[in-house]
Amino acid sequence: MSAALRKGLALPALFLLAMLCTACSHDRDPAAPSAVKLGERMSPGPWGEISRGRYLVRAGDCEACHTAPGGQPFAGDRAIPTPFGTIYSSNITPDPETGIGRWTDQDFYRAMHEGIDRQGNPLYPAFPYPWYTRLSRDDVLSIKAYLDTLTPVRHVHRKNELPWPLDQRGLMAVWNGMYFDEGTYQPDPKRSAQWNRGAYLVQGPGHCSACHGDRNFAGATDMDGPPTGGYAENAYAPSLAGGVRDGLGSWTEQDIVQYLGTGRNSRTAAAGPMAEVVEQSTQYLSKPDLEAIAVYLKSLPAPEDTSVATVDKDTLDRGAALYVDNCEGCHLKQGQGEIGAFPPLRQSSAVQAASADTLIGVILDGAHIPRTTAEPTGLAMQGFADHLSDAQIADLTTYIRNAWGNRAEAVDADHVEDLREALRKSP
């Protein structure tokens, strides 16, 4: 379903829900400390707690959303595009007036655990409290301890651009009632400590399924099923479940560790919003934590591989010619790429993902491989938006998704046109 279509359905549906639904009761899980501890204390006392908080802030990629382009870190004001409108992130520096300087530990825990701010207003789930609720109280308070050490920045929160009735925060109580399961992560005693740690990181601070999970018409993610791919910021976050074609089925645990730690591996390179996630978040995770994530992700079952219609030869021929002219210099004749430099396109799960939006976005606007401490280069690709028409990009994308043994749904020019427009308008 295209982003525009989903948006079209979601608004009236949510409106209807708001009219029909009264308050739903919900079990309140007392903030029990989790059996899973994240990050080791480097030293006892406040320094250890602050260090752990810093690690968790990175694991949660808090800075990415709470920093505007060119703005002060953690001072908020980054525009978060959602299918419903634009939400501006809040200032989480300890400024007493405009930040969280007056927040108590309990205020902060309530926001992270229940999605309710200091004044008692429900927060929008663009703030990923449906995932952060899984965090242990200790971990949440470590995060607060770290944020308290930041330099306070005075920066007033900008008003969100949401249509009525979504601008009514009270509506979120209804949404929470329907879609939000509050509760700290409960380890699965049948699984190893490593698996549980990975699950905690993925489902809690990492909030991976916020992008990689499918959302319903109301913007809610299915928190129980595996993250089989989803739309995020005009891109498509591919499936993290099994599945050799478009999931992580053919990846080894080491591939996952390398990808999250460096932004690239022998199969692909991070692109779109994930490049930023690697740069700002996952590259800082410890090797044991990355390994735990890999173990957990590799345990996810593969969904049934959906059938894909065959693509006509004319389209493939046109796409092949465009590939030779525009792509082959770096990605090479068989789409094998250059290991370490230019990502392969052959047998790439990202290329064969259920939606081609990330691939189309890269062709339109270009991309750079994340710059990480381990791999500082950040090789970049230029965008082809000015060089290739919508129809050409559709043919090229379809070709790449079906060449060298790849197999994925074809793309049409109208879809490229929609995405080009959406990316152009994207803040």
Residues that bind other proteins (CB under 8 A): 326, 329-330, 338-342, 366, 368, 371, 373-382, 384, 387
Pick from 241, 171, 247, 173: nearest CA to 24:
173
State in angstroms the smallest separation of the CB of 262 from other proteins.
10
Min separation Cβ 369 and other proteins, Å? 9
Q: Taking the chain, what is the end-to-end CA distance rounded to the nearest angstrom?
A: 22
Q: Which amino acid is at 273?
A: P
Whole-angstrom distance, CA of residue 230 vs CA of residue 67: 24
Instruction: List C-alpha distances in Å: 380 to 196, 330, 365.
Output: 36, 11, 11
Q: Which residue from 189, 227, 180 is spatially nearest to 207, judged by alpha carbons?
A: 227
Read off the amino acid at residue 58. R
At its nearest, how many Å lie between other proteins and the CB of residue 377?
A: 4
- If the CB atoms of residues 278 and 410 are measured against other proteins, the closer one turns out to be 278
Which stretch of DSSP H or E encloses residue 110?
Answer: helix 105-114
Q: Nearer to other proteins by C-beta: 384 or 399?
A: 384
Identify whether the C-beta of residue 344 lies closer than 8 Å to the C-beta of residue 350.
no
Nearest distance from C-beta of residue 380 to other proteins, angstroms: 4
Nearer CB in complex with other proteins: 108/284? 284
Distances (CA, A) of 73 to 66, 141, 248, 412: 7, 20, 33, 40
Strand ranges inside 226-265, DSSP E: 230-232, 235-237
Is the Cβ of residue 5 or residue 380 nearer to other proteins in the bound state? Answer: 380
Cβ proximity to other proteins, 24 vs 339, nearer residue: 339
Backbone angles phi and psi of 357, in degrees to 5? -60, -40
Helix, coil or strand: residue 346: coil
Q: Please, what is the minimum distance in Å from the beta carbon of residue 421 to other proteins?
A: 21
Minimum distance, C-beta of residue 386 to other proteins, in the bound complex (Å): 8
For other proteins, the closer of residues 296 and 384 by Cβ is 384
As measured in angstroms, the least distance from the Cβ of 337 to other proteins is 9
Contact call for residues 109 and 140 (beta carbons, < 8 A):
yes
Q: Which is nearer to other proteins, 44 or 376 (CB)?
A: 376
Closest CA to 158 of 269, 71, 264: 71
Cα–Cα distance between 126 and 122 in angstroms, integer? 12
**Residue 338 vs 421, nearer CB to other proteins:** 338
215, β-bridge pairs: 221
Sign of the Cα torsion 38, 40, 41, 47 reads negative
HSE value, Cβ hemisphere, 13 Å, CA-based, for 91: 23
Minimum distance between the CB of residue 319 and other proteins, rounded to whole angstroms?
Answer: 18
Cβ at position 326, least distance to other proteins in Å: 8
Nearer to other proteins, 87 or 362 (CB): 362
